[in-house]
Structure 1
Amino acid sequence: MPLDLALLKKLSEVAGIPGWEDRVREVIQQALKGLVDEVRTDALGNLIAHKSGNGPKVMVAAHMDEIGFYVKHVDPKGFLRVQNVGGFDTRNLFARAVTVHTQLGDLPGLLNPAGKPVHISTPEERNKIPTVAQFFVDLGLSAKEVARRVQVGDPVTLRQEASMLGDLFTGKAMDDRASVFVLLETLKRLKGKKIKHDLYAVFTTQEEVGLRGALTSAFHIEPEIGIALDVTLAVDTPDSEAHEAVTQMGQGVGIKVMDSASISDRGLVQQFVQLARKKKIPYQMEVLPLGGTDAGAIQRSRTGVPSITLSIPTRYIHTITEAVHKDDLEATVQLLTAYLQG
């Protein structure tokens, strides 16, 4: 079954920052039709899809949210100041197209740091890296019109068209819409088939600000096994040292050993490695020095849950040109499908 990259494009381009994942959830709900036995949304906005099986209760989590902003101030000239939700490297934020999502409709805008144009700035000013607090949004509207249409608390998202680039698929929010896509593609391949596990496919909220949705949904589901799906660093571009390469593009699904939020269950790591070898699915071992996934929340739920993360190697994480390799997407779908089928 070929990957439905049109669905990945839709998932990438739809807007959904932490606490405002509604539009993403709607796309997923449409894609879930006919694939599971039950779908519900909990109090924190997590979308929980249940596919019945006779085996252990397994929670597979992929987060819906993307990093973005909320409007925190509208100044007298009509410029907007923003508060980030999620971690940004501000070097990647210069001259970006954004959308401000207001109650009166979406407004296109431009994101730039405050300060002088390069032509009249000093060398010291040009070399200074601005903080998020220095960035503002220009809507191209009069101050009166901005005040009428925008209010503090309106979400702001980066805008970027997703597309194929050789063997790569690139766009915004591959973190973690690529994993949402993998989970949906896995459910497609399991359609009409009996599975080894009692599966809860959970599309979680607010991962980028503290793994919040995974924590509450795991508490409710009480899984016996937790699997997080997320992206990880592909450190394989120029001027990167070989020992820094957490994963490499096109070399298969990442089986995570550890990150700064979780250490994967040793038994699950061995089980996934053996399964990948048996099925001849390309894989690579992953040790991530900094960063975490929903596994960090799932494993600490109630009295503890053996958990692991399957990772998709990704270049340019937390930018609008995040890129994943189609072969790595396929390998992740194959490994997860094989595990759930038993």
Structure 2
Amino acid sequence: MKLNLDLLKRLSEAPGIPGWEDRVRELVQAQLEGLVDEVRTDAMGNLIAHKQGAGLRVMVAAHLDEIGFYVRYVDERGFLRVHSAGGFDTRNLFARQVTVHAASGDLPGLMNPSGKPIHISTPEERKKVPEMAEFFVDLGLPAEKVRQQVRVGDPVTLKQEAVRLGDFFTGKAMDDRAAVFVLLEALRRLKGKKIRHDLYAVFTTQEEVGLRGALTGAYGVEPEIGIALDTTLAVDIPEVPPHLAVTEAGKGVGIKVMDASSISQRWLVQEFVALAEEKGIPHQMEVLPLGGTDAGAIQQARAGVPSLTLSIPSRYVHTVTEAVHLRDLEATVALLSAYLSGR
């Protein structure tokens, strides 16, 4: 089947920071119609889709949320100060368009750090990397109107169009909408087919602030095997030595050995490697020094769950230009589908 890149574009551009995943969840739920036997939403906002099978209870998790912000203060001139929800490198936040999701409706804004422009700053001031607390949002409105429309706690998301870029697809929130897309595509390929496992596709919440949705989701599902789908570093770019690249874009799905949140179950890693080799699916082994996925929460649920992560290599992670290779998307869909179908 051909990848539905229009769906990936819609997923990327949909806003949904930790704790405010509603719009993304609604988009995903609409896509699940006819693909699974049951859909429900739990107390944490996880969307849990069940496709019946005769084998082990398998939980496949892909998180709905993206890194973003919450309004924490509105000053006397109408500028907004924000608090980050997820990890940002502030070097990537200069001169960004954002959307403030107020109760009265979405408001366009501009994000910049406080300070002088290049024309009037000193060489020393230009070298400084601002802290998150120095960034503000300008809505271009009088202070009175801002105070009428915006409240502390309103979500703020980065704005970016998702587009095809050669052999890549790029946009905001590919972490983890690319994995949400992979899970939906796998379910589409399994439509009307019997599967060897009892599948729970769980679209989790609040991953970017501590794997929270996956923790409670796994407690409720009680899986016997856990599979997290997420992006990983592909730092195969100029000035980065190969041994630091983690993965390479276009070389296939990453089968994670370990990261900072989990060490994958060894026999499960071996099973996926053998399956990828048997099916001729491009794959690469991954060791990630820092960062984690929902697998870290799933494997610690109840008495413990054998778990691993399938990773989509991504360039420019945690920016609005995250880029995933179409070949890697296809490889991830193919490997996950093959495992679930038993074929």
TM-score by length of 1: 1.00
Mapped pair 1:288 → 2:301: no
Equivalent-residue separation in structure 1 for 2:222 and 2:49 (angstroms): 14
Cα distance, 1:93 vs structure 2? 0.2
- The alpha-carbon deviation at position 48 of structure 1 amounts to 0.2
> In structure 1, what is the Cα distance between the partners aligned to 2:5 and 2:311?
18
**1:269 alignment counterpart:** 269
1:1-342 map, 5 Å: 1-342=1-342
Deviation at 1:283, TM superposition (A): 0.2
Percent identity between the aligned chains? Answer: 75
Counterpart-to-counterpart distance in 1, 2:52 and 2:213: 22
For 1:89 and 1:111, locate their aligned partners in 2 and report how far apart those are by CA, in whole Å. 14
What is the deviation of 1:245? Answer: 1.6
Structure 2: distance between partners of 1:101 and 1:164 = 27
Superposed CA RMSD in Å reads 0.3
Q: What displacement does 1:116 show? A: 1.1
Per the alignment, in what secondary structure is the counterpart of residue 81 of structure 2? strand
- How far the C-alpha of 1:126 sits from its partner, in A, is 0.8
**For the residues of structure 1 that align with 2:265 and 2:273, how far apart are their CA atoms?**
12
Deviation, structure 1 residue 215:
0.1
Spell out, residue by residue over 1:263-305, the C-alpha distance to the aligned partner (whole angstroms, 9 max, x if none). 0000000000000000000000000000000000000000000
Quick one: distance in 2 between partners of 1:288 and 1:22?
30
User: What is the rounded CA distance, in whole Å, between the counterparts of 2:240 and 2:144 in structure 1?
Assistant: 49
- One-letter amino acid of the structure 2 residue matched with residue 187 of structure 1: L
Once the two structures are superposed, what CA deviation does each residue of 1:152-189 show, in whole Å capped at 9, x if it has no partner? 00000000000000000000000000000000000000
Q: Secondary structure at the match of 1:231?
A: strand
Q: Secondary structure at the match of 1:278?
A: helix
Runs of 4+ in structure 1 deviating by more than 6 angstroms, as ranges, are none
Whole-Å separation in 2 of the counterparts to 1:30 and 1:326: 24
Shift of 1:117: 1.3
* Residue 124 of structure 1: how far off its partner (Å): 1.2
- Unaligned 5+ residue runs, structure 2? none
Aligned length: 342
Within 1, Cα distance between the matches of 2:236 and 2:117? 34
Task: Report the Cα offset of residue 256 of structure 1.
Answer: 0.2
> Which has the larger displacement, 240-249 or 102-111?
240-249
Shift of 1:123: 1.1
TM-score (normalised: structure 2) = 0.99
Q: How far did residue 237 of structure 1 move?
A: 0.3
Give the distance between the partners of 1:230 and 1:117, measured in 2 at CA. Answer: 38
Query: How much does 1:242 deviate?
Result: 1.1
